[in-house]
């Protein structure tokens, strides 16, 4: 299989290692119309771990009425092969989801917040301010249970209803999540509109507000083809955790033009070429995406998968 | 139509203006199986100029046996609407092509060279060294006619037969083209394998050899999804001329996985967001790609076109 020529960035500005936060099984599948059996999901997760992933977001305890694809969350969590040093975070939207997470013995959870008023209303049926009332009991219980909590912040770089989003507002909402006890913020370009300068500006706004890049992850969508260009800039700014979805599966069910998350393979191609360690094997990912494409009945949108599997 | 939020890069390292060298009518169509009538080609070029392009590579005088799609080069050149300040370069492979260029009153030409021995053999039927014997008479006549000559250098970041390519060899071949009289070098990632650090290393190797970034253009393929990430780095290094193909048409007919040139729309989305002036209107490009997709009978691979025209 073709591999990129390894030529590290001569500026030395990039990190030596990047942790890929694999979101394929949760964010990738949640909006998938084809019903994926729990056994396929667990096999998918096991394959991702075998490929070298150390963080695989496994499923979600969102109410099955909203995300029927992930109604089998407990079954999936029971089925996956646990591996030393591998975390399987689960999205927990509310107190009822927290009950289920505790029942399943989950140790890592994520909460999903909006950076804008409009998306908070549309996605969470709450205002920008009142979304925190939903998180507070979840966070308190997580702390009591010794769970690590990641905070997703969506519509960070643009909102399909509001348009432009002020970086200052993003920082305010993000800091609220950190103050509530999130160990990490994942900054989401939910509709994929961000460009490189915008990414740098938002990251610097967080740094200026005292939030170090060790607490920030980036979550880009490739709707307008910008995901990897934005990732390069984020790495230059010191970010070392990047969200990606194997095969480029997924997108947000409540956002327009959700043509998908950054494909993990496209990210790994770039990081391998840069000599940045991820621990993830590209060939194993491409095999996995080809296998999953068979289950979903359509080819992966990842450019790397198309080039290498074709 | 959705537009990116404009947020210039806070480092100030990027150029204020970028010239897009539009290659769609030549590089985009040359390998196209669907026969495109000359009238459609001229309308395509006229639309690109109306969208704001100032350089549109119009066609090629390669022998029709090798590139039958562009056998109508003279007819296309006669049909396009000339506009003040707009150049229509034409690819000229050899002395016979030069005869035709002169007959057609062409003022800007391009020659196509290989950075590797293997591709010189495969694509030009000549060795790396002997390719220059082919260019010399062309360059001499171009000088006598007062034509500007661009030098394309292909397989700069990897070769499908040789594998890795030494940047030092690229610089040696590139300098030969400049010494022969090329005003600009377009560094081509013909098989799309380049990653960001590699791009920076090659550009710095040219700079170290005394070749300023004002004489360099970059030509990326999106085969592995890396084109825009590589472009960001090239802009950071001072490059201000970027090759792109409206709708992402094309690829090299003699190279593997030629899934296409960087789409002009994806590039313009990024540059618009960065506040970098191009003079090119995104909506007009998307309209043009949608119109051309109708002629070709398949959708554009550009992410921006899919998001905005869908």
- Tell me the mean pLDDT in the region A133-162: 96
Question: In a structure prediction context, what are the per-residue pLDDT tens digits for chain B, which is 310 residues long?
Answer: 899 999 999 999 999 999 999 999 999 999 888 899 999 999 999 999 999 999 999 999 999 999 999 999 999 999 999 999 999 999 999 999 999 999 999 999 999 999 999 999 988 888 999 999 999 999 999 999 999 999 999 999 999 999 999 999 999 999 999 999 999 999 999 999 999 999 999 999 999 999 999 999 999 999 999 999 999 999 999 999 999 999 999 854 444 444 689 999 999 999 999 999 999 999 999 999 999 999 998 888 899 998 998 6
Band (A33; pLDDT cuts 50, 70, 90):
confident
pLDDT at A259: 63
Enumerate helices (H) and strands (E) in chain A, giving the number of each.
11, 8
Q: Let me know if residue B116 belongs to a domain.
A: yes
Q: What is the pLDDT of residue B301?
A: 87
In a domain, B14, yes or no: no
Q: What is the spatial distance between Cα B181 and Cα B149, in angstroms, rounded to a whole number?
A: 7
What values do phi and psi take at B244, rounded to 5? -160, 160
Asked if residue A6 belongs to a domain, the reply is: no
Chain B closest CA to A228's CA: distance in Å? 6
Separation in Å, CA of B69 to nearest CA in chain A: 25
Q: Token digits for B92?
A: 């000229």
> Is B252 annotated in the active site?
yes
Active site residues of A: 252
Whether A211 has a pLDDT exceeding 50, the answer reads: yes
Using a CB-CB cut-off of 8 Å, the residues of chain A touching B259 are 303, 306-307
Which residues on chain B are in Cβ contact (under 8 Å) with A275?
A: 197
Q: Taking CA atoms, what residue in A is nearest to B263?
A: A225
B163, B266, B306 ranked by CB distance to A259: nearest? B306
Contacts of A259 (CB under 8 A, 6+ apart): A192, A221, A222, A223, A251, A301, B303, B306, B307
Q: Does B1 map to a domain?
A: no
* pLDDT at residue B106 in the model: 97
DSSP string, B64-99: TTT-GGGTTHHHHHHHSPP-TT-B--EE--SHHHHH
Could you give the 3-state DSSP secondary structure of residue B277?
strand
**CA atoms of A98 and A91, how far apart (whole Å):** 9
Place of tokens 């905005």: B308
Which CATH number do you get for residue A198? Answer: 3.20.20.70
Residue A252 has pLDDT above 80, yes or no: no
The Cβ of residue A143 has, within 10 Å, a number of other Cβ atoms equal to: 12
Q: Measuring CA to CA, how many Å separate A9 from each of A16, A142, A203, A273?
A: 10, 40, 21, 9
- pLDDT at residue A310, as a whole number: 64
Share of chain A above pLDDT 70, in %: 97
Contacts of B201 in chain A (CB under 8 A): 7, 10
Collect all residues with Cβ–Cβ distance below 8 Å to A274 and sequence separation of at least 6. A6, A7, A8, A9, A14, B195, B196, B197
Q: Dihedral (C-alpha) A186, A189, A194, A200: value to the nearest 10 degrees? A: -10
**Cβ neighbours, 10 Å, residue A212:** 9
In whole angstroms, what is the distance from residue A104 CA to residue A101 CA?
A: 5
Cβ–Cβ under 8 Å, residues B165 and B158? yes
Q: Assess if residue B44 is contained within a domain.
A: yes
Host domain of residue A29? 19-309
Residue A137 is predicted with a pLDDT of 94
pLDDT at B126 (0 to 100): 86
Q: Answer for the pair A28, A246: CB distance below 8 angstroms, yes or no.
A: yes
Orientation of helix A38-50 relative to helix A282-296, angle to 10°: 170
Collapsing DSSP to helix, strand or coil, A27 comes out as helix
**Out of A164, A193, A200, whose CB is closest to B10?**
A200
The residues with which B261 forms a beta bridge, in sequence order, are: B221
Q: Which of residues A185 and A31 earns the better pLDDT score?
A: A185
In a domain, A61, yes or no: yes
A213 within a domain of the structure (yes/no): yes
ipTM for the predicted complex: 0.95
Long-range CB contacts (within 8 A, 24+) of B285-292: B285/B48, B285/B51, B285/B246, B285/B247, B286/B1, B287/B47, B288/B44, B288/B47, B288/B48, B288/B51, B288/B246, B288/B247, B289/B246, B289/B247, B289/B263, B289/B265, B291/B47, B292/B40, B292/B44, B292/B246, B292/B247, B292/B249
Judging by beta carbons within 10 Å of its beta carbon (0-12, 13-18, 19+), is residue B3 exposed, middle or buried?
A: middle
Kindly determine whether residue B158 and residue A204, on different chains, have CB atoms separated by under 8 Å.
Answer: no
Cβ–Cβ pairs < 8 A, chains A and B: 155
Tokens of A30: 């949640």
pLDDT the model gives residue A16: 97
Tell me which residue in A163, A259, A270 faces B303 most closely, judged by beta carbons: A259
Q: Considering the domain boundaries, does residue A13 fall inside one?
A: no
Number of domains in chain A: 1
């Amino acid at each position: 299989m073709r591999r990129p020529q390894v030529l590290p960035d001569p500026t030395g500005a990039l990190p030596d290692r990047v942790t890929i936060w694999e979101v394929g099984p949760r964010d990738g599948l949640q909006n998938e119309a084809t019903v994926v059996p729990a056994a396929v999901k667990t096999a998918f997760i096991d394959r991702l771990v075998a490929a070298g992933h150390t963080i695989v977001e496994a499923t979600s305890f969102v109410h099955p009425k909203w995300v029927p694809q992930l109604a089998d969350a407990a079954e999936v969590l029971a089925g996956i092969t646990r591996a030393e040093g591998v975390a399987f975070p689960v999205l927990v939207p509310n107190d009822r989801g927290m009950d289920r997470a505790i029942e399943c013995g989950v140790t890592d959870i994520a909460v999903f917040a909006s950076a804008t008023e409009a998306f908070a209303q549309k996605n969470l049926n709450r205002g920008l301010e009142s979304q925190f009332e939903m998180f507070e009991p979840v966070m308190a219980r997580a702390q009591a249970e010794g769970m690590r909590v990641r905070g997703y912040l969506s519509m960070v770089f643009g909102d399909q209803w509001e348009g432009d989003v002020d970086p200052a507002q993003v920082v305010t909402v993000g800091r609220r999540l950190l103050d509530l006890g999130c160990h990490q913020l994942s900054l989401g370009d939910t509709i994929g509109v961000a460009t490189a300068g915008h990414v740098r500006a938002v990251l610097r706004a967080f740094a200026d507000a005292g939030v170090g890049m060790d607490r920030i992850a980036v979550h880009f969508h490739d709707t307008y083809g910008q995901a990897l260009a934005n990732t390069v800039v984020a790495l230059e700014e010191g970010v070392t955790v990047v969200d990606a979805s194997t095969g480029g599966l997924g997108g947000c069910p409540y956002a327009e033009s959700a043509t998908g998350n950054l494909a993990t393979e496209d990210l790994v191609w770039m990081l391998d070429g840069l000599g940045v360690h991820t621990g993830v094997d590209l060939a194993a990912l491409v095999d996995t995406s080809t296998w999953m494409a068979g289950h979903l009945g359509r080819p992966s949108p990842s450019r790397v998968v198309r080039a290498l599997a074709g």
